[in-house]
Amino acid sequence: MEDWMNRLIFQKEEERQLLLSMEKMEYAYKECCAFPDWFGLTLPLLKYGLPIQPVYFDHMVRYEEYLRKYRYLILSYEFMKPESEEFHHKLVEWVKQGGTLFYIGKDFDPYNYLQEWWQKFSCDTPAQHLFAEFGMDKEPANGCYRIGEGNVLVWNEVPALLSVNEAIADKYRNWIREGLKMGGYHWNMCNYLSVRRDPYIVIASMQESDTGSVYTKEGLFVDLYEDKYPVVERVLVEPGQEKLLFDLEKIKEDVRIIATAARIENMACENGQLSIEAKAIDHIQVNMRIRLPGKPEDLCAHTESGKNMELQSVWDEKSRTVLLSYRSNNEKVHITGKLKYES
């Protein structure tokens, strides 16, 4: 860690010599431009499969119901400060109603000691005011404190160190996992993240937290990261790989453009006839996968200038999709054909 910090932070030899003690090194790294406190709080969790998202302080006050969708919050004042005591009132109310708040910090930030609103409450730091609002000691020891129907977990540590010290990051993950368990959530640590939005699924398998397992998903998908958009029933995501999938089992339409390398300007599928107008940049291989109610036959393609195009077609019966492929020439291409329906 020391060699890396010396390369990244210190511009002069006398600065490096000055920061010899661990405490001063912690401060130097914390104040560098790499935003280590934020990444220290987030990456050790994301890398082990725990989805997280930022929570906006101003929304807590602006929108009455904003915090209701959250059960767990992680907070630190080592790199940001609340604008007013009103934020603490909202947090106290949220915890008393059953929320779990993780607070990590060591009051290491010199900005804590500016002439700010918390000092009118005889508090040296905003964290002291927060704990006082909970009815706790202003400088509580590490531990879990029951507040109403919820919990406040305190860990006196510098978040920046979580991004460079593996042992501290492991301790942080275990601390979070135990707190989640108190609220009834079991975090099964893994080396992947999977996020779905409608039929789209994004999967990332990470090398840094490799658990020795390969992520596997079964179903009926189109692999959108492959150039011919293949239909697959079993997906393997090795550490270091990412996948973007289209879940065919989540759509009900008989006609749907799944993926295309060209801009489809018009498409009609009526009375057993198929018509597609598409345009792409010059000299690229255009692939498009489309769901249709029947297998297309007698397909032909020509440009807007009347030139015939070589068109390839591959039908996949299980997904009821067709892969259409041709070589573009910077002209609009008109594709026509008939649909053969199952009897």
Residues 54 and 146 in one domain: yes
Give the chain's domain count. Answer: 3
Q: What is the pLDDT of residue 25?
A: 53
Residue 18 lies in a domain: no
Where a domain ends, among 250, 267, 282? 250
Residues 131 and 242 in one domain: no
Residues 329 and 218 in one domain: no
pLDDT digits (tens, 9 = 90+) for 168-185: 999 999 999 999 998 899
Residues 232 and 127 in one domain: no
Residues 171 and 304 in one domain: no
Residues 233 and 277 in one domain: no
Q: What is the pLDDT of residue 1?
A: 43
Residues 44 and 152 in one domain: yes
Residue 276 lies in a domain: yes
pLDDT digits (tens, 9 = 90+) for 5-27: 444 343 445 444 444 444 555 55
Residues 175 and 244 in one domain: no
Q: What is the pLDDT of residue 30?
A: 58
Residue 52 lies in a domain: yes
Residues 237 and 284 in one domain: no
Residue 283 lies in a domain: yes
Where a domain ends, among 214, 235, 250? 250
| Interacting residues of 61 by C-beta distance below 8 A, sequence separation 6+ | 84, 86, 87, 90
Residue 210 lies in a domain: yes
pLDDT digits (tens, 9 = 90+) for 51-86: 899 999 889 889 989 999 999 999 999 888 999 999
Residues 45 and 149 in one domain: yes
User: Which positions of the chain have pLDDT values less than 70?
Assistant: 1-34, 343
Domain that holds residue 146: 35-182
Residue 13 lies in a domain: no
335 touches 300 (CB < 8 A): yes
Residues 238 and 153 in one domain: no
Residue 140 lies in a domain: yes
Where a domain ends, among 134, 155, 182? 182
Residue 26 lies in a domain: no
Residues 85 and 162 in one domain: yes
Q: What is the pLDDT of residue 165?
A: 83
| Interacting residues of 33 by C-beta distance below 8 A, sequence separation 6+ | none
pTM, to two decimals: 0.76
Q: Domain holding 282: CATH number?
A: 2.60.40
